[in-house]
A and B are shown apart, each in its own frame.
Chain A
């Protein structure tokens, strides 16, 4: 696979999310789900970057960004600090 298709990642602000389900209902690829009452991108790799979840979210809880902007994009696995649990990264 020489040409990678353009990828997106989702910034989720769990503190802001109220679990109304608007983003889940209107995502054209149905990649978002509610987990414990908060939005969770289950299949982020199929995101087409239409930003409709971001625009319709009333709580400013989700943002779609191109994968190049991800802080750890392209970094090797060794650079991750695995001693920290993933939930510690959430704001």
Chain B
């Protein structure tokens, strides 16, 4: 931003020191555990358990990754499916979120508060997991489909209301009214006037949606019936939970013919790396919408 190019006063300099100092500190505190996680994933499980984690890998080993990738086609399939769910879910989600948020942001829409309340109400009251599960498996027989993995997360009350705030903040009512007087339909207003200036909001909500999809394992856990529709997170999670479940089962006395030998701690680290990696690659592209301002000249017109 141009802000810093203008002559700085004493306050400007003091502020510089504060902001760079604090941000550096926070960045280190936030990054360090992540670094430890990555090096942990490349360490030998026994060594880590024995001597603890470090910033650098201890007794370098790729066993954890070998364990995760022992079935490469499955994991590639899981990546594919997760990308599919994320892309479809985020796009559909963004579209429906903006549609809804646009309506309830309009001060000329008489029932905006009722609708807002009904949307918000869903975050407070819920019937629990069983009727929800019943809805998707018995009333709508969707179990096992890919639709059911992305559909339940397209809208969230939080995203809608957040988007409403963004729309309200970046498009004054006056502009919409004047456009209406000029004869623009709702759809034109939304696509030509609101959408273009909504980029930070879209990026934010899109990011939240995408992260939600990327990190989800629960819906796969409940609804996937075939291995090739698993979400990545669930695929990985299930590798470890199988080992732990079998271990616990044995303490309740089931005799099993298989033992699953999972280097548990380092595998958990490696899982996190495998899952996070792609996001960190994509993130900078989304990030520019948060770190550099956009021209909102259109609004001032």
A and B associate: no
